[in-house]
Amino acid sequence: MVRLSREIRFALVSPEELDQQTSDRDQKNSWAAWPNTCRIAPQLRLRAVVEGEPDEMTGYLCNVKLIDEALRRFVNQQLIPSLADCLLSQLPNAESVLQQALQFLENQSLDGATLISVSLSLSPFLSFNIDSGAPDMIQLTHQFEFSAAHRLHCDSMSAEENVATFGKCNNPAGHGHNYVVEVSVSRDVSKSGGGPTVVGAVELAGIVNRNVIDVLDHKHLNEDIAYFSDVNPSVENISAAIFGWLKSDIESAGCQLAEVKVFETPKTWASFRG
């Protein structure tokens, strides 16, 4: 069984701008967003994941043009017209748009492929995901960052063993990283009350800032953080620690903590799931 992902990028333009751009250019799925605008307007990404068996001759699970067209139809024929008279403060939340997109795409022909999930990115740092089998369970992923120093070292190992295992990362003075933390929380939005909302962005940021960023930012993890006094601050252990520090407050906010992913560098990350 193979899964295939495809996304489109678009701006929330007015119906008039959409009509103008439709007549001006071909609707290709290039790197640039379409429709687009130079006005201050939300710039979004909408992604669908489908599943099935590839065609034996072509190797295609589904022609991606069909996914593009289905996503575009939702945006151009349903989403943008429905927001024609909305003020900025009246724009719908991402969760409700995602549920509408899932319902719309489930009725589109995709070469026999099965729709698995749909995701909506409000920015490179904030995204939402919904699975076709659980239309009320929505996952929010929010990205944060902090800077810290650490030294990879195990007291139970000899000096030679530490150097052999950790190399330059065993430097007694330590070294630093600009860590990126992705926190994913989920919620059955049918039970959230007051509309389909996972958790407020401000509320989530407050929980993460209080339990993680304010604790770790500009610190030497080995020397300043009690937890790491006897735990080697590897990226694996950092992700597990952050998950533990967040779990209680996330659950108190009515959500489930699905995953914490920590990027030590753009090439290296570790994640912890409950």
**Mean of the pLDDT values across residues 223-227?**
97
Between 146 and 191, residue with greater pLDDT: 146
Determine contact, residues 84/15, Cβ cutoff 8 Å: yes
Q: Between these two residues, 25 and 97, which has the higher pLDDT value?
A: 97
pLDDT of 90: 83
Which contacts qualify for 251-255: CB closer than 8 Å, 24 or more apart?
253/199, 253/203, 253/204, 253/207, 254/187, 254/192, 254/199, 255/185, 255/186, 255/187, 255/198, 255/199
DSSP secondary structure, 48-80, as one string = EEEEE---TTT--SS-HHHHHHHHHHIIIIIIH
> What domains are there in the chain, each with its CATH number?
2-123 (3.30.479), 137-273 (3.30.479.10)
Active site residue 218: yes
Mean pLDDT of 31-56: 86
Q: Using N-to-C axis directions, what is the helix angle for 235-252 and 201-208, rounded to 10°?
A: 130
Assess whether pLDDT exceeds 80 at residue 38: no
Query: Sorting pLDDT into bands at 50, 70 and 90, what band is 202?
Result: confident
pLDDT band at 35 (very low <50, low <70, confident <90, very high): confident
**Taking the model in full, what pTM does it have?**
0.86
Which listed residue (145, 161, 218, 251) is catalytic? 218
Query: Residue 23 has what pLDDT?
Result: 56
Write down the catalytic residue from 51, 69, 169, 203.
169
Range of weakest confidence among 16-20, 24-28, 235-239: 24-28
Which residues are CB-contacts of 226 (< 8 A; sequence separation ≥ 6)? Answer: none
Average pLDDT, the chain: 91
84: left (phi over 0), alpha (psi -120 to 50) or beta: alpha
Give the Cα separation of 247 and 63 in Å (integer). Answer: 41
Is residue 250 over pLDDT 80?
A: yes
pLDDT band at residue 195 under the 50/70/90 scheme: low
- Position 24 scores a pLDDT of 47
Confirm whether 62 is a catalytic residue.
no
Among the listed residues 62, 150, 177, 264, the single catalytic one is: 264
Which has more pLDDT, 17 or 194? 17
Q: Does the annotation count 169 as an active-site position? A: yes
Average pLDDT over residues 165-188: 95
Q: How far apart are CA 52 and CA 63, in angstroms?
A: 12
pLDDT at residue number 237: 96
Average pLDDT for residues 197-217, to the nearest whole number?
A: 92
Mean pLDDT in residue range 174-199: 87
Tokens describing residue 121: 């990115």
